[in-house]
Structure 1
Amino acid sequence: MEEALSHCMARIREAAAAGTPLRIRGGGSKDFYGQPGAGELLDTRGLAGIRSYEPSELVVTVGAGTALAQLEAVLAEQGQCLAFEPPHFGGGATVGGMVAAGLSGPARASTGAVRDFILGLAIVNGRGELLSFGGQVMKNVAGYDVSRLMAGALGTLGLIVEVSLKVLPRAPAEATLKFELPQAEALHRLNAWGGQPLPLNASCWVDDGGVPTLYLRLRGAHAAVEAACRALGGERQDNAVVANDWLLCRDQRLPWFEDRAGRDLWRLSLPQAAPVLDLPEAPLVEWHGGQRWVAADPAEGERLRRVVEAAGGHASLFRADAASAGAPRFQPLLPPLDRVHRELKQAFDPAGILNPGRLYPDL
């Protein structure tokens, strides 16, 4: 890993001097996400390896080029996991890409996002300098929390070298309940259940072959899960079967997603209490109402953003078809936040060579 790190630092210094854009890439599983990448390829997979792992301390430090599947397998041997269930979107996902994309899976609304589990990290900035932030304990930040700033930055602020993550024990009990409910009733129940001491972990509402259905996953102590099942009702699912369905949901391989392949797929981030919205179609709803997916024609994009903004959220063009390849992927930033983004980019990458335009076309 040291040789790979030296190579990356030298490559970035040379690119900064020449003004040559670099396209940072690990396994490429999230190439579709954000604006199309540009520049010479800088492969991070040489930055691989688990640097340290203390199961009793619930902390792992891992190279950014490490395969996400490898890390999860090591944690599973100790009965531990990444509680935010990062999506893979293919077999090549890496830990660095997981952090850079900042995407979380079905459990995000109950357990927290990627950034909430980052204790510290090391990056190479746009000057080719190795910088370290945070540490390996929770209370390690004084001032600006740069470590978590890297989550979702899509590599525009620095090349992630290694990350220290908080891990959690796997829940001792799990159950999935199925309810046939229209969207409005499902949202109402999810909001009501959210105010009760229930071991809610994940939810997914989908119009399943013409049958509107809510799937609710519970995780926690055996007694808590069993009590919740009795209180909530619904049809209890076979864990051995439904576990794979949650993985398919995480990686967008459910039939609902596959039926919409080749169309623009929008991610709607909303307050959980937001009502049913006027959308081009019934969405797939996750995160207890906080994340909703919808396919739309390219001409519907601007209206979709206005509808979501009026409900207190924002919309992202998550996967674009060929006709929308040049369309902005993320909602434009308001002036104060736009200024902060530009100043951060200038501070970390003054030559503008790291994944230029990946977040916004001119940033």
Structure 2
Amino acid sequence: MEEALSLCMARIRDAAAAGTPLRIRGGGSKDFLGEPAQGELLDTRGLAGIRSYEPSELVVTVGAGTPLADLEAVLAGQGQRLAFEPPHFGGGATVGGMVAAGLSGPSRASVGAVRDFILGLSIVNGRGELLSFGSQVMKNVAGYDVSRLMAGALGTLGLIVEVSLKVLPRAPAEATLKFELPQAEALRRLNAWGGQPLPLDASCWLQEAGVSTLYLRLRGAHAAVEAACRSLGGERQDDARVPDDWRLCRDQLLPWFGDRAGRDLWRLSVPQTAPVLDLPEAPLVEWHGGQRWVAAQPGEGERLRRIAQDAGGHATLFRAGAGSAGVPRFHPLQPPLGRVHRELKASFDPAGILNRGRLYPG
């Protein structure tokens, strides 16, 4: 890993001196996310390997090029997990890509996002300098938390070298309940359940073949899960089958995602308490109402962004169809926030060579 790091640092220094943009890429599983990055390829897969792992301390430090599946397998061997369930979107997903994309899976609303589990990390900035932030303890966080700033930056602020993550034990018990409910009633129940001492972990509402269904996953102590199953009702699903179903939801492999037929896939992030929205068709709803996936025809993006904004959220063009070339992927920033973005980019990458254009065109 040290040799690969030295090569990456030298490559970035040379590119900065020449003003040559670099396109940072690990396994390429999230190449679809964001705007197309400009520049020559800088492959991160040489920055691989678990640097340290203390199961008793619930901390792992791992190279950015490490396959995500390898890390999860090591954690599973110790009865531990990445609680935020990062999506893979393909077999090549890496730890660095996981952090850079900042995406979380079905458990996000209950346990937190990727950034909430980052204890520290090292990056190479746009000057070719190796910088380290944070540590391996949560209480070390003070002042401006640069480590968590890298989550979702899509490599525009620096090449992630390694990251220290908080991990959690696997829950002793788990159950998934099924309810046939219209969207409004599903949202009402999710909001009500959220105010009760229930071991809620994940939820997914969708409509298929005219049937509206809410799936609710519970995780926690055996007694708590069993008591919740008795009090909530619903149809308990086969414990042996549902882990695969939640994985398919996490990686957008459910039939609902495959039936887009060339349409755009939009992600609406709204408050969990937002009501049923006036969307082109019934969405797939996750995160207890906070994340709503919408399949839409090209040209509907502006309307979807207005709907999300009116609900107190924002909309992202997550996967673009052939007819949406030139449509901005991310919700336009308000001027004050746009200024902060530009100033951060100028500070970390003054020559503007790292993943140029990946977040916003230009």
TM-score (structure 2 length as normaliser):
0.99
Cα distance, 1:251–1:261 mapped onto 2, change above 3 Å? farther
- 1:307 counterpart = 2:307: yes
Summarize deviations over 1:298-329 as a string: whole Å, max 9, x none. Answer: 11110110011001010000000122132100
| C-alpha deviation, 1:63, in angstroms | 0.1
Distance 2:32 2:207 in 1: 26
| C-alpha deviation, 1:36, in angstroms | 1.1
Structure 1 segment 259-338 matched on structure 2, within 5 A = 259-338=259-338
SS at match of 1:337: helix
Summarize deviations over 1:125-183 as a string: whole Å, max 9, x none. Answer: 00000000000000112210000000000000000000000000000000000000000
Other-structure match for 1:78: 78
Other-structure match for 2:169: 169
CA contact (8 A) 2:108 2:287 kept: yes
Structure 1 segment 189-204 matched on structure 2, within 5 A = 189-204=189-204
Q: What amino acid maps onto 2:313 in structure 1?
A: G
- 1:141 counterpart = 2:115: no
| C-alpha deviation, 1:261, in angstroms | 4.9
SS at match of 1:298: coil
Other-structure match for 1:121: 121
Structure 1 segment 8-157 matched on structure 2, within 5 A = 8-157=8-157
Other-structure match for 2:360: 360
Distance 1:141 1:114 in 2: 16
Distance 1:321 1:26 in 2: 24
| C-alpha deviation, 1:208, in angstroms | 2.4
SS at match of 1:299: coil
* Percent identity of paired positions between Structure 1 and Structure 2: 87
SS at match of 1:201: strand
Q: What amino acid maps onto 1:206 in structure 2?
A: L
Structure 1 segment 197-236 matched on structure 2, within 5 A = 197-236=197-236
SS at match of 1:327: coil
SS at match of 1:239: coil
Between the two proteins, the alignment pairs up a number of residues equal to 362
Distance 1:66 1:241 in 2: 29
Distance 1:159 1:232 in 2: 46
SS at match of 2:266: strand
Q: What amino acid maps onto 1:207 in structure 2?
A: Q
SS at match of 1:276: coil
Distance 1:165 1:261 in 2: 38
CA contact (8 A) 2:299 2:324 kept: no
User: Could you say what the CA RMSD is over the residues aligned between the two structures, in angstroms?
Assistant: 0.6
Distance 2:129 2:112 in 1: 31
Other-structure match for 2:247: 247
List runs of 5+ in structure 1 lacking aligned partners.
none
49-58 vs 255-264, which moves further? 255-264
317-326 vs 307-316, which moves further? 317-326
271-280 vs 324-333, which moves further? 324-333
Distance 2:69 2:202 in 1: 21
SS at match of 2:299: helix
Distance 2:222 2:91 in 1: 33
